[in-house]
Each structure stands twice: as C-alpha cells, then as structure tokens.
Amino acid sequence: MEAFVKLIQKRCIHTCKVNLSNKMPSNLKGKSASSQRWLTRQLQDPYVEKARQENYRCRSAFKLIEINDRFQIFKPGQIVVDCGAAPGSWTQVAVKKTNSDGKINNELIGKVFAIDRLPIHHIDGATILGNHDFTKKTSQKELAKLLDGSLVDVVLSDMAPNATGVRSMDHELIINLAYAALKFAIQVSTINATLIVKLWDGGEAQQFEKDTAKFYKTIKIVRPGATRDESTEKFILARGFNGIQR
C-alpha cells in the first residue's frame, strides 16, 4: 500500500495538469482490491487535485478551511497547537490564518506548534515536534516547554487511530485520543479559547460532547463538505473556554 501512496503523491505533485475527477486509473493489474479502490478514489477526488494546486499536503486542509470560513476560528497573532499533525495540512492552514510565518504585513504574528508520532517535514512558521507521541506525558511536557508559559488560543486534533475494522474498538480508540486532546486543552488554553476534535460516530460520542460542554460555552457538531460520503467522522467545535484554576 505504501508504494501506491508514493505513486499517487508523485503523480499529483509532478504530472497533474487537469482535474482528475473524470479520470480512471489504467494500470490496476496485480493490485489488491483495497489498493484498487484507494487509487480509484484518489484519482476521482477533486479535493486531492485541489490540495495539489494550492500546495497543501493533504486534502484534509479543506475541512479546516471550511470550519474556519463558517465560524471564524483563527486570527493573526494567535497561538495554536495541532495535535496529531502529520503530514501537516492543518498546520499549514493554521500558519496562514495566524500569520505565524509573518507573510502578512502590518498584522500580528502568531505561533503554531505541530506534534505527531510520525515525522513532519519542515513548515515555515511552525515549530515541529515530529516523532513525538502526543498521548505520552513526556511529549506533552516537551510541548509545554516550547510554549514557555504562553496560553493557547486554539487546540486542533485531527488525530485518528489506525483502523482495526472493528467499529466498536475503533470508536473506543478515537474517543481515547479525543479525551487526551481535551485534557491537554484544559491545561494550556487561555480564556475563550477554541478546541476542534475529530470523532467517529459511536456510543461514546455523546458523552464526550457532554464532558466537553462542562469547560466550553458552546459546542457544535460540524461535518465539512470535504468529508467523504462513506466516512462517519465529525468534528466537535468547542468555543469559549471557561478557564480553570491553575
């Protein structure tokens, strides 16, 4: 599968001259059924081509862009932490919107921190913590050192576990990641901060929403247009952090 990922990335970076939504892969012989489905879906997905055109590392950038367009999450000068950031598309969006790369003249310059257990290639305007498992206390302590006492305006979590195919188990795994992001956000966020967390549908999602509502003024469930039809994912948008006694 990794070879096919590299194949489609190379094709999108170097050879895509037109919209691929009407194209079909021509060389599927010898590939597994799952690989054929993946390759076909990638070539037919307009967000894959759009990501290439706008220099985003992954189509998921447009989920965060839509959320921001609808709810005005970001502004220049903010401090943002992107949990489970690899390959870095959400980080790229956060950098642009907070001006952490300083490219918008006469605007405040923000700070963006990206952490993931996978490597993350350099992104101008972001502080990268690759090869760091966000759920580990040691990683969060290192992230806290980088924050150096600064409180965070936005915590992002597009984290998801490697799917096992057992829905109840996968749901439990992503719920655990969501709670890790929530706990971290409570510890580092400034008053009125925002938290965005990805979930998959399941029995524990409603309880997570209730628990999150204890710390934030408003909770919204958002399913961006870039979310694939077959996906059960949704995003919890929590705004107006109430603060805690530290």
As annotated, the active-site residues are 198
Q: How far is CA 68 from CA 132, 135, 152, 210, in A?
A: 27, 26, 17, 23
- Paired tokens of 118: 């996978």
Of 220, 215, 214, nearest in space to 196 by CA: 220
Cα separation, 61 vs 226, whole angstroms: 9
**C-alpha triplet 111, 235, 190: angle, nearest 5°:** 35
User: What is the sign, positive or negative, of the torsion defined by CA atoms of 66, 70, 71, 77?
Assistant: positive
The DSSP 8-state label assigned to residue 3 in this structure reads H
- Residues facing residue 196 across a β-bridge: 156, 237
Contact 63, 224 (CB under 8 A): yes
Contact 238, 216 (CB under 8 A): yes
Q: Helix, strand or coil for residue 134?
A: coil
Contact 227, 160 (CB under 8 A): no
Cα separation, 93 vs 90, whole angstroms: 5
**62 alpha carbon, distance to own chain's centre:** 10
